[in-house]
Amino acid sequence: MNENRDGVVVYWRPGCPFCMKLRLQLRLLRVRRTERNIWKDPDAAAFVRSVADGNETVPTVTVAGEAMVNPSIRRLLRAVRERAPQARS
């Protein structure tokens, strides 16, 4: 899979309240990201399963290629500052 190795990728699914909250927070904080719906993208779903012990746990986020399963906004922003500062507007 051709992942964004320099930026932020959010894996989500419709109806997930945790996904909705995280995506809104990132939008309000102006974090540039790619979003992938695991229900419409089989490769994205397979990736999530590969980093989440076989589960489709969302939100899963990669920052500069490093995966985080259901990260807090604080943890995610720290990772962005450290590994992908260009993702902040």
pLDDT in tens, 14-66: 999 999 999 999 999 999 999 999 999 999 999 999 999 999 999 999 999 99
Residue 50 lies in a domain: yes
Binned at pLDDT 50, 70 and 90, residue 2 comes out as very low
| Residue listed under structure tokens 């980093």 | 51
For 31, the 3-state DSSP assignment is strand
Residues 6+ apart with CB under 8 A from 87: 7, 8, 31, 32, 33, 63, 80
Q: What is the CATH number of the domain that holds 24?
A: 3.40.30.10
Full domain range(s) for residue 16:
8-87
Report the pLDDT value the prediction gives residue 28, as an integer from 0 to 100.
96
> Greater confidence, 16 or 3?
16
Binned at pLDDT 50, 70 and 90, residue 3 comes out as low
Report the pLDDT value the prediction gives residue 1, as an integer from 0 to 100.
44
Which amino acid, residue 69?
Answer: V
Residue 2 lies in a domain: no
Residue 3 lies in a domain: no
CA distance 39 to 12: 8
Domains in the chain, number? 1
Model confidence at 4: pLDDT above 80: no
Residue 29 lies in a domain: yes
